[in-house]
């Protein structure tokens, strides 16, 4: 039941450092995560969503003499090679002018150094939806300007080693990754986004050394793995931590103590209980979004005053306790909650009038 609260347009402005990520992160995927739904790999034969920012490459006759015969090099985009959906089993020899390489929807199994030898100016490589099982140690290391690497929906069993330190985004969703060698990520100090959604990561896959070198990481996505515990020693530079769809039962006391920039935490679709959440665990001064839907909570956890979006749908909450949302009126710390989702719980009676006094900025309450 959506209570009749007046809805006003509100814009959730992220910190400036997140703007780069928000330009390349699908808004549809974000909305799905907020609603408590999980992403799923595309069915065989389905078209790969083109990452936002990818130019549309039109077919036509070859314009450049150095264009690989297996690909199309559009006259209007001289640095791009479109080799998508060509039934390729290997990467063709690449010209030195290449900066944007599109190889998705092929049958490539191994990445070797040879084809990339002359393409040292590459910035963007898309290898989604192939059959890549291995990346030779020196295959991509020479690409000193590479910023974006897409290897989603392949069959990798570990994070590739020898990746260039210039990388800003590494997308490895929906592989079979069960191992993350510490040396695979240790040199990626410029990495902003690491996406390991939908792999086979268990607690033993991640150690205290795994993320040690990622000193500038802004978004870490471990959605849809097999973790039963919170991963250790995450970079304190994080703004967004996505852990939906695991088997996590608790969050250790003081876990978020070192995070000075954390903006969004998503822990929906886990096995969290009241006992597994220490009283002040989410007392993070920068936290704006907290997703705890589809867990085993029977009460509303304590939240920080600046939180704006709270998702507690599909739990076992029986009482809508206003005191838990506003434990003590404090004019110096007004509550900023704008969206509260509590549907699919066991709440018998809501108190919208009391809630509105407690939460004057609330735009939407779903019970």
- What does DSSP assign to residue 274? G
CB-count burial class (<10 Å; 0-12, 13-18, 19+) for 364: middle
Across the chain, the runs of DSSP E, i.e. the strands, are 80-82, 100-102, 110-111, 124-126, 134-135, 148-150, 169-171, 193-195, 219-221, 240-242, 264-266, 289-291, 309-311, 339-341, 364-366
**Residue from 153, 94, 87 nearest 124 by CA:** 94
Kindly provide the b/e burial profile for residues 137-162, where b requires at least 16 CB atoms within 10 angstroms of the residue's own CB. eebbbbbeebbbbbbbbbebebbbbb
For residue 10, the model assigns a pLDDT of: 35
Backbone dihedral region for residue 308 (phi beyond 0: left; psi -120 to 50: alpha; all else: beta)? alpha
For residue 332, the model assigns a pLDDT of: 57
Distance CA 326, CA 291 (A): 18
Cβ proximity of 305 and 328 under 8 Å: no
Cβ proximity of 233 and 258 under 8 Å: no
Q: Could you list the pLDDT tens digit for every one of the 367 residues in the chain? A: 444 443 333 333 444 444 445 444 443 344 344 444 333 333 333 444 444 444 444 444 456 789 999 999 999 999 999 999 999 999 999 999 999 999 999 999 999 999 999 999 999 999 999 999 999 988 999 999 999 999 999 999 999 999 999 999 999 999 999 999 989 999 999 999 999 999 999 999 999 999 999 999 999 999 999 999 999 999 999 999 999 999 999 999 999 999 999 999 999 999 999 999 999 999 999 999 999 999 999 999 999 999 999 999 999 999 887 878 887 655 556 799 999 999 999 998 777 777 888 899 999 999 8
For residue 280, the model assigns a pLDDT of: 93
For residue 62, the model assigns a pLDDT of: 56
- In which element (H, E) is residue 31 found? helix 27-34
For residue 321, the model assigns a pLDDT of: 79
| Cβ neighbours of 7 (radius 10 Å) | 10
For residue 354, the model assigns a pLDDT of: 79
Cβ proximity of 341 and 313 under 8 Å: yes
**Residue from 243, 194, 244, 242 nearest 215 by CA:** 194
Rg of the chain on CA atoms, in Å: 23
Q: Specify the pTM.
A: 0.84
Placement of tokens 């600046």 in the chain = 306
Report how many helices (DSSP H) and strands (DSSP E) the chain contains, helices first: 5, 15
Which spans in 103-245 are helix H?
182-185
Distance CA 293, CA 244 (A): 9
Distance CA 62, CA 67 (A): 7
């Amino acid at each position: 039941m959506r209570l009749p609260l007046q809805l006003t347009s509100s814009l959730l402005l992220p910190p400036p450092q997140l703007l780069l990520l928000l330009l390349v992160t699908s808004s549809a995927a974000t909305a799905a995560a907020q609603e408590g739904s999980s992403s799923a790999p595309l069915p065989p034969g389905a078209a790969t969503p083109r990452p936002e920012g990818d130019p549309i490459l039109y077919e036509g006759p070859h314009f450049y003499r150095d264009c690989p015969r297996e690909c199309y090099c559009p006259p209007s985009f001289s640095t791009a090679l479109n080799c998508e959906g060509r039934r390729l089993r290997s990467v063709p020899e690449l010209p030195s002018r290449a900066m944007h390489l599109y190889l998705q929807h092929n049958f490539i199994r191994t990445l070797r150094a040879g084809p990339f030898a002359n393409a040292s100016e590459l910035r963007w490589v898309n290898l989604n939806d192939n059959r890549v099982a291995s990346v030779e140690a020196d295959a991509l290391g020479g690409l000193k300007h590479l910023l974006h690497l897409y290897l989603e929906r392949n069959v990798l069993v570990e994070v590739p080693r020898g990746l260039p330190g210039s990388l800003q985004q590494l997308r490895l969703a929906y592989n079979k990754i069960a191992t993350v060698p510490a040396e695979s990520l240790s040199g990626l100090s410029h990495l902003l986004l690491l996406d390991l959604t939908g792999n086979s990561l268990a607690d033993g896959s991640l150690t205290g050394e795994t993320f040690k070198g990622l000193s500038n990481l802004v978004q870490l996505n471990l959605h849809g793995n097999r973790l039963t515990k919170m991963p250790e020693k995450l970079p304190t530079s994080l703004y967004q931590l996505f852990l939906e769809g695991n088997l996590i039962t608790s969050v250790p006391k003081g876990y978020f103590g070192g995070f000075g920039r954390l903006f969004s935490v998503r822990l929906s679709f886990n096995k969290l209980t009241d006992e597994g959440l220490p009283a002040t665990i989410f007392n993070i001064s920068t936290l704006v979004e907290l997703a705890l839907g589809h867990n085993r909570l029977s009460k509303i956890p304590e939240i920080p005053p600046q939180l704006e979006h709270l998702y507690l749908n599909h739990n076992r909450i029986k009482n809508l306790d206003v005191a838990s949302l506003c434990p003590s009126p404090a004019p110096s710390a007004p509550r900023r909650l704008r969206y509260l989702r509590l549907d699919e719980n066991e709440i018998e009676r809501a108190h919208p009038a009391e809630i509105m006094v407690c939460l004057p900025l609330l735009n939407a309450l779903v019970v």
